Chains A and B, each alone.
Chain A
Amino acid sequence: MTPWIATYLWLLPAVPLAVSLMILNLGPSRRAEAGTLAILGQIAALALAVTAFLPTLQAPGWRAFQNFTWFTFGGNALRIGWVLDPLGAAMLVMITLVGLCIFIFSVGYMADDRNFSRFFAYLSFFSAAMLGLVIANSLLLLFVCWELVGLASYLLIGFWIHKPSAAAAAKKAFITTRIGDLGLLVGIFWLYSGSGSLLFYDEGRGCLESAALLSLGTSATFIALLIFCGAAGKSGQFPLHVWLPDAMEGPTPVSALIHAATMVAAGVFLVARVYPLFSLGAVNGVTPSLTVVVWIGVTTALMAALIALAQADIKRILAYSTVSQLGLMMVSLGVGGVAAGVMHLLAHGFFKALLFLGAGSVIHGCHHDQDIRNMGGLRRLMPVTFLTYAVGMMSLSGVPLLFSGGWTKEEILHATAAWPPSHVPHYLLLAGVVLTALYMTRQIIYVFFGNRRAASEHARESPAVMTLPLIVLAVCTIALSVVLTPAWPWLHDYLIKETPHLDIARLRLVQPMLLLSLGLVTAGIGLGVLLYHKIGEIDPLARAQPGLFRFLENKMWLDELYARTVVAWSRIAACLSDWMDRHFWDGLVRGLGHVGQLFGIFTASFDEHGINTGVDEATTGTRGLGRIMSDLHSGQIQTYLGAIAIGMLALLVLAWLI
């Protein structure tokens, strides 16, 4: 039996969308109503998400979908619909819960902003689009929502539009993700022509079900890679990751919600959703497309972790950390650990949102200075922020046992260790674990320890409306680990559609990996403390390896490389087109115009002198004749009678002559 929520799943995105429109209609002056409405909408969405989550617990692998025809063209009906399954349900709960915390936090963070209402309208709009993306049962509907979250991201990155850097960052994010989306769109077309359906599940006819997959054959590899282009753009994978750090120009809650917890995870979610396409024809769990995903993910994870080591902006460090973690998730999906990747995605959603909100609280306290070199000693001034931030930091670093991030990261390491083709990704990820611990230690030492510096001089703890969401998220981060332990891998089994059961003995099995990751994290944190415990004017790394530091500080010169190549080429192409337009096409059009003009002059003169004169002459002649005729009509009846007589006589003479 289908529960009602599966039929009415569309309510989930509809509620925030309605709220967004209502807020926009309220106008900018109704600030309190706007905030309340947005939070109420998010609470409703959370309630619906939990309602949707409950039926998926009934049986392992429970799934319900609802399809209908959107429109018909020719003989083809384009069908869309929504689906409720463990993957989607878990995402729904995470998105709405994290979203609610961030909405509440925003009330405090954006309190002084002039465009408070607009901010909440955009946030609600984003929430609607993201929920739509998760429930979509059709690649087409998913793509529509995909573009809508892109739009919301664009609007919110450029929220402080008066800052030129924000406007540029919004544009960059929009255009860079569009490059990936082009691949995704081509993949969608190919998939539609190959399998004849864009529905994921449709009682055996969906494109993810065996019949359609068999008909795709080898083209599935190319379709999967094209879809991965879109996922790479959205999830900030190398080489399309450049937009994500720049997106930090947006308000911090936006960074937390869109550019850390939810939207950037959409790429990972997409790959997990269409995973059958990637794994089709797998030998030993390896396919060409999945191998590409693994190597891109490893490159991204390591590169971003290295860059994060040399950044000075508190949000940029977190942004590169997000890029790195998304790479980690991609690797996990690529090596076959779908559940591990999604688990890390869910856990990451909580602790990265926590870290970003913590950073937001710090920035709020430091009067919107974001440079960690100007902070310091905030531990005593902002105790709640510090404690929650530490929870997030340890979860991100992968400290085992207590924090959710540790468990999920370990799952991923397990999955990579078992990858048949190569062990290199596994070792590179182990290095990544050390780097993650290192840069997070560096950041936390800069911000919270040591002496107070310029920006932290007058810092104070944020109000309860901002610290409360931090506490909730920190509790979630720790509480989530309950369902992640190997002894009771409830979330893992839930996602891979098996019945979870408790087995303490399994704890022993994973001990080597547990000890290894504990050792690596300790090494990373220890190295961090050693390096950064006495920080002077110059970064210790910069003193030891100035060249390398400059290389990392400037993001491996990738932006400059793109500016010299892709951007420069498009600029040249634009100039060329402009020149063609101005001189060639313009001239052609103008010449044609002249020909038309000449013809016009010719016809005008023909009209004037030919036709007009003829008509004039004809009328004048007719008028003269009429005058003569009218003169004959004298009114003298005897003249008429005489004329008749003479006429008769003439006729008679004529008849007689003939």
Chain B
Amino acid sequence: MNPNEERLRQLLVRGLAGDAPAYHAFLQDLSAHLRAFLRRRLTRLPDEVEDLVQETLLAVHNQRHTYDAGQPLTAWVQAIAKYKLVDLLRRRATRDVLTDPLDDDFDLASPSDTEAAEARRDLGKLLAQLPDRQRLPIVHMKLEGLSVAEAARLTGMSESAVKVGVHRGLKALAALIRGNA
């Protein structure tokens, strides 16, 4: 196995066991791989690349329970990235029928690649659309880094409700992206 893949795989396996720093390193590294992978496949839609990187990261996170430690990591990640890519192209195809598809080919303004990490879609704005029982747990736990107990105290929710709120909220975020993009 490729040493880099093995390193990433171990980071993910540790992340699945609840090791947050390892999981952070995994996602960080993965996003660079995803960006390269998707940029090669979206040469005509460079503006979509970063949005799709983020959407795929969210999918990897939400569906991380489907990874089996014995499975090649590349196959798993690539299948998710391809699925999200095809989903995006299908969504665009439906939308382009309604708008004007001819514009695409005549766009000479070359988009900037320098700010690779800037997405067009603002996940922060999508987050604001979630109901409080999902949004507040995400804000307290995921953005402010509070513990479950602290988030529960601040919101007046039970600890299990906080956990469920984070889980469902991130799924709802993915659903919003599917519906909006």
Pair from one complex = no
Q: Which A positions have Cβ atoms within 8 angstroms of B?
A: none
